[in-house]
Amino acid sequence: MFKMKNGILRYDTKIIQKNISFEIEVGQHVALIGRNGVGKTTLLNKIKNDFNAGMLIQSNENLDLTILEYCLSAHPKLLKIKSDIQYNYLAIEEYIAHGGYETEHAIVVQLKKFGFNEKDINRKLSTLSGGEITKVGIVRLLCQSYDLLIFDEPTNHIDSDTRNWLIKWMNDSKHTIIYATHDRHFINTTAHKIFEMSEEGLRTFNLNYDEYKKQKDIEYETNHNLIEKERKERKKVQSMIQEYKEWFHSANSKASVRNPAEQKKVAKIARRFKTKEQHLLQKEKQSKGKPVNKERKEYILKGNQTNIKNFITFNNVSYSIEGNNIFENVNFSISQSEKICITGKNGSGKSTLLKLILSEIQPTSGNIDINPSISIGYFSQHLEILNLKHTVLEEVLSIKEMNESYARTILASFRFKEDLVREKIINLSMGEKCRLTLVKLFFQNPHLLILDEPTNYFDIEMQEILENMLLKFEGTIIFVTHDQHFKEKIASRIFTIKNKTVIDSNKYIQEKVDTENLIKQLYNIPTESEL
């Protein structure tokens, strides 16, 4: 059992959370969720320091190391001795004495379980895909004697195949694991319980994500109704107090100073409204309804209305670079109001397909017809539409017909607090830059919206806001994602890139099937005994 009671989280010298308490049973898989910036990574680092825990790190460092060297780097002394062997053969004895070859064998055994072979151990990390680096990182953790494994955003930058592999591995794993993620499908399929982190602290839910969301919606609705009920009760009491005050002033002005009975009556009225005021103050202190910050949740992303039906058509499009064929004879058409998801393994050509659609590159053969009348809004993780030298406010004010008052309002709605409004864009986090890009798209009113991995740096709340925007968007959407939940929510059509072509989910068999000939062919297939 892993426990923390009344823990304090600090970032540098600043206390960011108090009274953090939780329990994790051995073998449990726990999803840690919460807004960006609330302190999830800080909590994971504290858990790492307080327990015998190892963290899966996804970084671009050490890319010159081989797979074996990277896994051995979990044992720095062994890695140092191994690197000395090439200059000093006597170091082999020291390597043997410290169990170097036994450790290497254990690493190779784990790598084979993860789909690598013995030749792979000498591949450099720089040659691996994001999914392969994630697998090697897990092997590195497993080759150490940790009681608890920590993953920070394990599904970022991996394709759907690796994500599915990771889901299966985690479900089969008996290890105790806590991970921070914004991937709702991943939580649904792997978590035994959820830790929700907010400004108020940490709450535990022994639920999957869908059940957690239902409970949160019920809590929100119950709290909303309670606040409304208490507001009505407060208004009723305030009305009674006002009546007593009016009676008091009326009676006081008429009462004679020399008439004790009249003065007694006035004093009685005064006591009544004073008592009511005290009761009201007491009720407000004991209020059960928790005030909720009124943040805008619904946004309308407007699309330019058009009578154009066909936006884009690919006619036998092929594309190659340096003799390497990326696409061969691709054909499809995209029409008004379609919501198309592009999927495929990392490196299959998703970004290349977007560049062809955006006319950033030209096909090697075939042609692409793009209606010149359509306007395109593009969300890229490279954030090309942002001027990094601007402040956040300057960037929004650069939008046509924008005034400062409305700019501040819309920025606040997208969770840009006052201290960020005048911050230079170059100093923002990736999540903040992506949010600002979304603000700019909000005002473009395009016919066609192209989104490249839009959810990677958004927390769950911003993902839900984006989903609602896209569902109400009347234009056409083309988006790349590995997020299963996001894909299922938005897509009406799916393009899967495989074997240098685009497989369209809307394709159907147009030619009549010759059933008689097909049956004859099936009968002519030899049985196992005839082979």
Nearest CA-CA partner of 333 in 314, 309, 308, 359: 314
DSSP one-letter code for 513: P
Whole-prediction pTM = 0.76
DSSP one-letter code for 480: E
Structural contact between residues 477 and 176, judged by C-beta atoms closer than 8 angstroms: no
Q: Residue 522 is which amino acid?
A: L
How many CB atoms are located within 10 Å of the residue 5 CB?
Answer: 9
User: Rg (Cα) of the chain, in Å, rounded?
Assistant: 31
Per-residue pLDDT tens listing for the chain (531 residues):
899 998 888 877 788 888 899 999 999 999 999 988 888 989 999 999 999 999 987 656 678 889 998 999 888 898 888 888 878 878 888 888 888 889 989 999 989 988 888 888 899 988 887 778 888 988 888 888 899 999 988 888 788 888 898 999 999 999 999 999 999 999 999 999 999 999 888 999 999 999 999 999 898 888 878 777 777 777 776 676 676 566 556 665 655 555 566 656 656 666 666 676 666 566 656 655 565 554 545 566 665 667 778 899 999 999 998 888 999 999 999 998 899 999 988 888 998 999 999 999 999 999 999 998 888 989 887 787 889 999 999 999 988 778 888 888 888 878 888 888 999 999 988 888 988 988 888 778 888 999 998 888 888 988 988 898 888 888 899 999 988 899 999 999 999 999 999 999 876 444 455 566 656 555 655 554 444
Q: What's the angle, vertex CA 120, arms to CA 117 and CA 124, rounded to 5?
A: 160
Q: How far apart are CA 326 and CA 322, in angstroms?
A: 10
Q: How far apart are CA 292 and CA 76, in angstroms?
A: 50
Residue 406 phi, psi dihedral angles, 5° rounding: -70, -35
Structural contact between residues 142 and 111, judged by C-beta atoms closer than 8 angstroms: no
516 burial level (CB within 10 Å; 0-12, 13-18, 19+): exposed
Structural contact between residues 23 and 3, judged by C-beta atoms closer than 8 angstroms: yes
Q: How far apart are CA 136 and CA 296, in angstroms?
A: 42
Q: For residue 149, how many C-alpha atoms fall within 13 Å in the half-sphere facing its CB?
A: 23
- Dmax (CA) for the chain in angstroms is 125
Residue 365 phi, psi dihedral angles, 5° rounding: -150, 165
Q: Which two tokens stand for residue 282?
A: 């007491």
The percent helix, strand, coil of the chain (3-state, each to 5) is 45, 20, 35
Nearest CA-CA partner of 464 in 272, 298, 233, 291: 298
Q: How far apart are CA 105 and CA 111, in angstroms?
A: 10
pLDDT at 501: 92
Contacts of residue 331, Cβ cutoff 8 Å, sequence gap at least 6:
314, 315, 316, 317
Q: For residue 426, how many C-alpha atoms fall within 13 Å in the half-sphere facing its CB?
A: 4
Structural contact between residues 193 and 30, judged by C-beta atoms closer than 8 angstroms: yes
pLDDT at 181: 93
pLDDT at 171: 94
Dihedral (CA of 15, 20, 25, 30) sign: negative
Place of tokens 């007491």: 282
